[in-house]
Amino acid sequence: MWNMTERQKMISGQLYKSGVKELVNDRMLCKEQCYDFNALRPSQTEEQTAMIKKIFGKVGSNCFITAPFWCDYGYNIEAGDNFYANHNLIILDCAKVTFGNNVFIAPDCGFYTAGHPVDAASRNEGWEYAYPINVGNDVWIGGGVKVMPGVTIGNNVVIGGGSVVVKDIPDNSIAVGNPCKVIKKIESGKAREYNIEEKHI
């Protein structure tokens, strides 16, 4: 344990210090790559796709992000097939952030694996922690949603706009609020009903 690097501690969910040279360099490289991505013209879709593949640890087919986009490390992000994120996506990927297939993310969303100790003395010494975030298949994240450290969002889930997700959300759910809670189960074969009924999500 004592021979672990701060990067290894970070990824494994232990307390670590982000100010070490290794992690500072990792973040700087990622920020430079995000800057380059955000500087591309909207019509440069092939270049955008190539840059996201360079930033992310793993990318499926048909992955598209509308700039601007920012993340901390990039190599801790994995996205499945048919991934789309609208403007102003922020991913603090100190731990792994995994998206399944067919994930759609509205504008101004954030996925935050990073946290700090409640104890002020430890926090002021620079200690941090990070817990992974997992998002399943067939998920729609509404505008302005914030997902907190350690959360798992199941398959076939809709998260209503403005929600703050602090606990796991089970499969086949519509969830909304701060803190985000399940308000309805999604029943198979009733998709058209939800399209009309949940129009304000």
Q: Averaged over 113-118, what is the pLDDT?
A: 96
Tell which CATH classification among 2.160.10.10, 2.60.120.1090, 3.40.50.10860, 3.90.1150.10 matches the domain 6-197. 2.160.10.10
Task: Show which residues are catalytic.
Answer: 116
Under the banding of pLDDT at 50, 70 and 90, the label for residue 167 is very high
Provide, rounded to the nearest whole percent, the portion of the chain with pLDDT above 70. Answer: 93
Token pair listed for 70: 């920012």
Mean pLDDT of the chain: 94
Q: Write down the domain spans for the chain.
A: 6-197
Q: Averaged over 43-52, what is the pLDDT?
A: 97
Question: Which of the pair, 166 or 188, is modelled with greater confidence?
Answer: 166
CB atoms inside a 10 Å sphere around CB 8: 13
The reported pLDDT for the residue numbered 131 is 98
CB atoms inside a 10 Å sphere around CB 12: 12
* Prediction pTM value: 0.92
- SS3 assignment, position 67: coil
**Rounded Cα–Cα distance for residues 135 and 168 (Å):** 10
